[in-house]
Amino acid sequence: MKNFQKRETFIPYNLPDLTEAEIREVEETLKSLWVAKGPRTVKFEQEFAGYLGAKHAIAMNSCTAALHVALLSAGIGPGDEVITTPMTFASTANTIIHCGATPVFADIDYSTGCIDPDEIEKKVTKKTKAVVPVHYSGQVCDLDRIYEIADKYGLFVSEDAAHAFESRYKGRLIGNGLKGAASYSFYATKNLTTGEGGMLVTDDDEIDAKARIWAGQGMSRNAWNRYAKGGTWQYDICEPGFKYNMFDIQAALGLIQLSRIQEMQAKRIAIAEKYQREFSKIDAVEPPLVPDYATHSWHLYVLRIVPDKLTIDRDRFIVELNERNVGTSVHFIPVTNMSAYTGRFGFQKGDFPNTEKHFERIISLPLYPTLSDKQSDYVVEAVRNIVETYHK
Ligand SMILES: Cc1ncc(COP(=O)(O)O)c(C=O)c1O
Q: Residues 279, 294: one domain?
A: yes
Q: Residues 155, 299: one domain?
A: no
Q: Is the omega angle on the peptide bond into residue 186 within 30 degrees of 0, that is, cis?
A: no
**Reduced DSSP (H G I as helix, E B as strand, rest coil) percent helix, strand, coil of the chain, to 5:** 40, 15, 40
- 315 pLDDT exceeds 90? yes
Q: Residues 169, 53: one domain?
A: yes
Residues 109-160: tens digit of each pLDDT: 999 999 999 999 999 999 999 999 999 999 999 999 999 999 999 999 999 9
CA dihedral of 13, 18, 23, 29, whole degrees rounded to 10: -90
Residues 218-242: tens digit of each pLDDT: 987 665 556 666 677 778 899 999 9
Q: Residues 267, 250: one domain?
A: no
- 195 pLDDT exceeds 60? yes
Q: Residues 203, 275: one domain?
A: no
- Please check whether residue 2 lies inside any domain of the structure: no
Q: Is 64 exposed, middle or buried (0-12, 13-18, 19+ CB in 10 A)?
A: buried
Q: Residues 170, 239: one domain?
A: yes
Element (H, E) at 294: strand 294-295
Other CB atoms within a 10 A radius of the CB of residue 10 amount to 11
Q: Determine the pLDDT at residue 220.
A: 78
Q: Residues 304, 371: one domain?
A: yes
3 pLDDT band, cuts 50/70/90, is: confident
Q: Residues 252, 283: one domain?
A: no
Q: In the chain, how many domains are there?
A: 2
Query: Which CATH number covers residue 345?
Result: 3.90.1150.10
Between residues 227 and 193, the one the model is more confident about: 193
Residue ending a domain, among 232, 259, 286, is: 259
- Please check whether residue 3 lies inside any domain of the structure: no
- Please check whether residue 9 lies inside any domain of the structure: no
Choice among 190, 210, 229, 349 that is catalytic: 190
Protein residue closest via CA to atom 8 of ligand 1: 63
Q: Determine the pLDDT at residue 189.
A: 97
Residue ending a domain, among 231, 259, 287, is: 259
Q: Residues 60, 105: one domain?
A: yes
CA of 144 to the centre of ligand 1 (A): 24
Q: Residues 255, 268: one domain?
A: no
CA of 185 to the centre of ligand 1 (A): 6
Give the pairing of strands 56-60 and 198-202.
antiparallel
- Please check whether residue 341 lies inside any domain of the structure: yes
- 27 pLDDT exceeds 80? yes
User: Which amino acid is it at 161?
Assistant: A
Protein residue closest via CA to atom 7 of ligand 1: 63
pLDDT (average), residues 47-67: 98
Measured distance between the N- and C-terminal CA atoms of the chain, rounded to whole angstroms: 17
Query: Which CATH number covers residue 160?
Result: 3.40.640.10
Active site residue 31: no
- Please check whether residue 26 lies inside any domain of the structure: yes
**Nearby residues of 50 by Cβ (< 8 Å), 6 or more positions away:** none
Q: Determine the pLDDT at residue 222.
A: 60
CA of 271 to the centre of ligand 1 (A): 23
CA of 111 to the centre of ligand 1 (A): 22
Residues 40-53: tens digit of each pLDDT: 999 999 999 999 99
Residue ending a domain, among 230, 259, 288, is: 259
Nearest ligand 1 atom to alpha carbon 64? 11
Q: Determine the pLDDT at residue 234.
A: 78
- Dihedral sign for Cα atoms in the order 28, 32, 33, 37: negative
Q: Residues 180, 210: one domain?
A: yes
- Please check whether residue 1 lies inside any domain of the structure: no
Q: Residues 321, 377: one domain?
A: yes
- Please check whether residue 249 lies inside any domain of the structure: yes
**Residues spanned by the domain of 237:** 20-259
Q: Measuring CA to CA, how many Å separate 33 from each of 28, 45, 321?
A: 9, 20, 46
Across all residues in the chain, what is the average pLDDT? 96
1 pLDDT band, cuts 50/70/90, is: confident
- Please check whether residue 7 lies inside any domain of the structure: no
Spell out which residues line ligand 1, taking CB within 6 angstroms: 62-64, 88-89, 91-92, 134, 160, 162-163, 185, 187, 198
